[in-house]
Amino acid sequence: MSKETTFDFVVVGGGTAGVVVASRLSQKFSVALVEAGPNDILNPHITDPKSFLMLIGDGILMDYSSVPQSHCDNRNMTQFAGRAVSGSSAANMGVWTRASKTDYEVIAEKAGHRRFTFEGLLPYFKRTEHFWDTAADPKYHGFDGPIHTTAGRKYPMRNILQQSFSARGVETNPEPSDGDPTGLSAVCQNFRITSSSDSTRQHSARVYDLSRVHVLASTFVRKVMFQEGRATGVELLDGNQLLARREVIISCGAYKTPQLLMLSGIGPLLELSKHFIPQVVDSPEVGRNLFDHNSLVQYYQLRRPEKGFALPFTGTAKPEYGQGAPSDFIAFQALPTPDLKAALAADDPTIDDLHPHLRPKRCHHISMVFYNPLIAPPDYSSHLGGPLDGTHIALISLLLLPTSRGSITLPSTDPTAHPIIDPNYLSTSADRYSLRTAVRRNLQLAETEPLASELVAETPPDGFPALTSRSSDEEIDARISKFCGTIYHAQGTAALGTVLDAEFRVKGVKGLRVCDASVLPEAVGAMPQATIYALAELAAELIGTENGDE
């Protein structure tokens, strides 16, 4: 490693948020960025959005795997996360969305500061963004930020879907980024168009300047070091040290951030005692409050594949179809208040109308249609004929606002070991009701004209009946239990308001902050990456200002 071992700031974790924080601080300060994974930002499997599954073999997309989930057929659930410079931004589907004003209001209340409201975060949303539509409202969009977006591809099934969604009461929302995403809107992704038929992924290290940052890739941190209650640097796995004159910032993601905090002596006393780790701060919520977005994917056979509705779009293909994921719309939907309240009351009879999930303008689930069967598990392989034969589309039901909470705990004191992950998926009646209702709404959509005339039926997994709108709750629940999965949006395990104060500072010590998906105390009803970027921009500004960068 470099002989230089002392910096103004040491950022641990070079993922989505860590890169942003390091890049912004490096404009005024000396910064070291330590990342456990490789620095491989030009890897073609990263830059090409269609090749993200190849990143598993490259060691960039890691499966941390959960403990058996009792409400998911006792399965060990896949828990992918990026481990490389750029983190999960190097491996995600790139969907670029914001949540509702109400979601951010709830987060602000729990964090204890108005800067986390929609209005408070809006300048940072705009700062990150180079929005694809130059005619969009500048009140809500940025046009000179580092992250380019793309949307507006019009696939052959677009009008059919729009009409069927409308018939189900889901109307088009022309501006889903204004704090109310409810309705049907165009899928927007953070890919940059490079030609009439191609795009590249806009991952954090590709678009944020790290030229002034001392990057140490493929390097594990053993623990944060403290002296008289102040973080002074980090000890690496090889025994070397990096010292921080000002602060250490942890940005390792919702799985690894709580692990590093606990290895450093910050966490629940009982958990630390199990591993004989001296306690620096009793912080009982470190590793708690884990939540994630659970989903079910269903596959539908097209009645006339020769119409070119699905990949490879035979006879209908346009060059721009290669610029992003094969999907036109994302439908944000709320659940009916009386039914949701009843489900919430089954978990907690003391709830009232002020429960956060019952507030107006919250979207509890989304529906998406992909014009290919995505990643079909082995149970489907005998039916689908491959992802590119043009015979199937996929309908996705996604739970946005889970009430289930899980945990991250330590397997040992080895920082290279995967933490013990228990998401506790679907452990509440409210979550089971919410995902079941999302699935039922997609079943109804598939039977609504004009889409219904274009589909034969659902192609079910082996041993399961095809689901229809007439299927019982028990049949839908059985399918969910066996086949639901996460879309890898783990959050909440070092939350603002409990573990952190409103300036991202770890409570009980000085000179230590956290910024990544773990800081969110409550789920955002959207794909989270745009929010993570905004939080990172906010954190970098707060840190810089507090340390004399006026």
Q: Give the 3-state secondary structure of residue 90.
A: helix
- Quickly count helices (H) and strands (E) in the chain: 14, 26
Q: How many CA atoms lie within 13 A of 56 on its CB side?
A: 6
Please tell me the distance from the alpha carbon of residue 254 to that of residue 258, in angstroms, as a whole number. Answer: 7
Going by the DSSP 8-state scheme, the letter that residue 278 receives in this structure is P
Please tell me the distance from the alpha carbon of residue 73 to that of residue 52, in angstroms, as a whole number. Answer: 28
Distances (CA, A) of 505 to 30, 175, 291, 375, 431: 20, 34, 21, 40, 32
Nearest to 304 by CA among 169, 455, 116, 434: 455
Sequence-separated (6 or more) residues with CB below 8 Å from residue 88: 15, 16, 81, 82, 253, 488, 529
Q: Give the 3-state secondary structure of residue 506.
A: strand
Distances (CA, A) of 442 to 196, 200, 298, 449: 33, 31, 9, 13
Q: Are 49 and 202 in contact (CB under 8 A)?
A: no
Please tell me the distance from the alpha carbon of residue 174 to that of residue 329, in angstroms, as a whole number. Answer: 11
Sequence-separated (6 or more) residues with CB below 8 Å from residue 138: none
Nearest to 426 by CA among 103, 110, 102, 74: 74
Q: Give the 3-state secondary structure of residue 25.
A: helix
Residues contributing to the annotated binding site for FAD: 92-95, 221, 528-529
Nearest to 539 by CA among 522, 525, 523, 520: 520
Sequence-separated (6 or more) residues with CB below 8 Å from residue 545: none
Residue tagged 């999302």 (tokens): 438
Distances (CA, A) of 171 to 132, 168, 187, 309: 22, 9, 15, 22
Please tell me the distance from the alpha carbon of residue 520 to that of residue 493, in angstroms, as a whole number. Answer: 8
Q: Are strands 329-333 and 365-370 parallel, antiparallel or unpaired?
A: antiparallel
Residues contributing to the annotated binding site: 92-95, 221, 528-529
4 token code pair: 């230089």
